[in-house]
């Protein structure tokens, strides 16, 4: 399985595999994660977002410091690959999203069934890959902390749209997206880098 592995703390802007890079060269030699309990679900990651917390974690500046080496990444979306015998809500092929403390910068990740959310039809997996952390953090900051109301933040599209840019990475493609939030409905505009 392919994964981005942090081998030492350092500058996360350096390309993988270089002598000074915190990242090992990406290779396909990582073991496929096994289902660890009857309610475990293995997800084939389609998209994961790059958050500031991950950026800090790779530098060793975040409050949570996983032991080295580790696979970084928190929120993700993908397709169910395998399920444990006790899983009731999901089946292989279902589209899901979730967040993990680490591990989403990999082809496959294992989570408990209770930690997963179904991705509704019509929602892009790249968009869903940003919802757990990036959208949740932004919504909390804008709606609860700043107490912004419709019309307080300008937009070229309408006066009542709150807009927040997110940069996303996808395992399969280099994609960037801008998220526009209107009345808790999301629209993503994506393009290749």
Q: Where are the domains of the chain?
A: 131-192
Higher pLDDT among residues 181 and 4, named by residue: 4
Average pLDDT over residues 136-146: 71
Q: Kindly report each contact of residues 16-19 with a partner whose C-beta sits within 8 Å and lies 24 or more positions away, as own/partner.
A: none
Split at pLDDT 50, 70, 90, the class of 131 is confident
* Vertex 64: Cα angle to 34 and 143 (nearest 5): 100
Helices (H), ranges, the chain: 52-59, 125-128, 136-139
Does residue 178 carry a pLDDT above 80?
A: no
Highest mean pLDDT among 36-40, 97-101, 119-123, 139-143: 36-40
Split at pLDDT 50, 70, 90, the class of 152 is low
**Distance of CA 88 to CAs 16, 32, 50, 76, 108, Å?**
39, 23, 31, 21, 20
Neighbours of 144 (CB within 10 A): 9
Split at pLDDT 50, 70, 90, the class of 175 is very low
Q: Which of 84, 90, 71, 101 has its CA nearest to residue 35?
A: 84
Split at pLDDT 50, 70, 90, the class of 127 is confident
Q: Comparing 8-12, 36-40, 52-56, 189-193, which segment has the lowest mean pLDDT?
A: 189-193
CA 56 – CA 180 distance, rounded (Å): 26
Taking all residues of the chain, what is their mean pLDDT, rounded to a whole number? Answer: 79
Please give the model's pTM, rounded to 2 decimal places: 0.74
Q: What is the pLDDT of residue 150?
A: 59
Q: What is the pLDDT of residue 51?
A: 83
């Amino acid at each position: 399985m392919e994964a981005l592995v942090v081998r030492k703390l350092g500058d996360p802007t350096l390309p993988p595999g270089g002598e000074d890079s915190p990242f090992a060269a990406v290779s396909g030699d990582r073991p496929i994660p096994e289902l660890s309990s009857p309610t475990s679900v293995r997800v084939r990651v389609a998209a994961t977002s790059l958050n500031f917390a991950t950026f800090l974690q790779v530098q060793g500046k975040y409050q949570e410091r996983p032991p080295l080496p580790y696979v970084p990444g928190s929120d993700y979306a993908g397709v169910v690959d395998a399920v444990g015998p006790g899983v009731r809500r999901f089946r292989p092929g279902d589209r899901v999203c979730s967040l993990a403390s680490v591990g989403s910068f990999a082809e496959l990740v294992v989570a408990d069934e209770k930690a997963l959310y179904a991705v509704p039809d019509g929602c892009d997996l790249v968009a869903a890959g940003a919802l757990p952390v990036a959208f949740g953090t932004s919504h909390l900051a804008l709606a609860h902390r700043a107490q912004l109301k419709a019309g307080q933040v300008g937009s070229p599209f309408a006066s009542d749209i709150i807009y927040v840019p997110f940069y996303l990475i996808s395992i399969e493609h280099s994609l960037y997206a801008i998220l526009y939030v209107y009345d808790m409905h999301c629209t993503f505009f994506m393009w290749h880098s």
